[in-house]
Amino acid sequence: MGRLDGKVAIITGAASGIGRGSALCLAKEGAAVVAADLNSQGGEQVIAEIAAGGGRAVFQHTDVTNEADVQALVGRAIQEYGRLDVMFNNAGLAGASGPIEAVSADDWDKTMAVLLRAVFLGIKHAVPPMRKAGGGSIISTSSVASYLPAPNVAAYSAAKGGVISLTRAAALELGHDRIRVNCICPGAINTPILGDDPVRLAQALDNLQPIPRVGRPEDIASMVLYLASDESQWITGTAMIVDGGLTVGQNFPYWSALRAARSRSESDQPMQAGFSGPSFRR
- Mind listing the pLDDT tens digit for each residue in 41-89? 999 999 999 999 999 999 999 999 999 999 999 999 999 999 999 999 9
The answer on pLDDT for 25 being more than 90 is yes
pLDDT at 259 over 90: no
Helices (H), the chain: 17-28, 40-52, 67-81, 105-112, 118-133, 154-174, 198-205, 217-228, 254-262
Query: In 3D, which of 219, 221, 185, 164 has the Cα closest to residue 26?
Result: 221
Phi then psi dihedrals of residue 243, to 5 deg: -145, 15
Q: What CA–CA distance (Å, rounded) separates 158 from 136?
A: 27
Residue 148, CA atoms < 13 Å, CB-side half-sphere = 21
Distance (Å, rounded) from C-alpha 213 to C-alpha 191? 14
pLDDT band at 198 (very low <50, low <70, confident <90, very high): confident
Amino acid at 207: N
Whether 156 is a known active-site residue: answer yes
Is the per-residue pLDDT at 180 higher than 70? Answer: yes
This prediction has a pTM of 0.90
Confidence band of 151 (pLDDT split at 50, 70, 90): confident
Taking every pair of Cα atoms in the chain, the longest distance, rounded to a whole number of angstroms, is 56
Is the dihedral angle over the CA atoms 146, 192, 229, 88 positive or is it negative? positive
pLDDT 10s digits, 105-148: 999 999 999 999 999 999 999 999 999 999 999 999 999 999 88
Where do the domains of the chain lie, and which CATH numbers do they carry?
8-263 (3.40.50.720)
Residue among 198, 241, 174, 179 nearest 17 (CA): 198
Name the catalytic one among 147, 156, 226, 254: 156
Q: Is the pLDDT of residue 266 over 50?
A: no
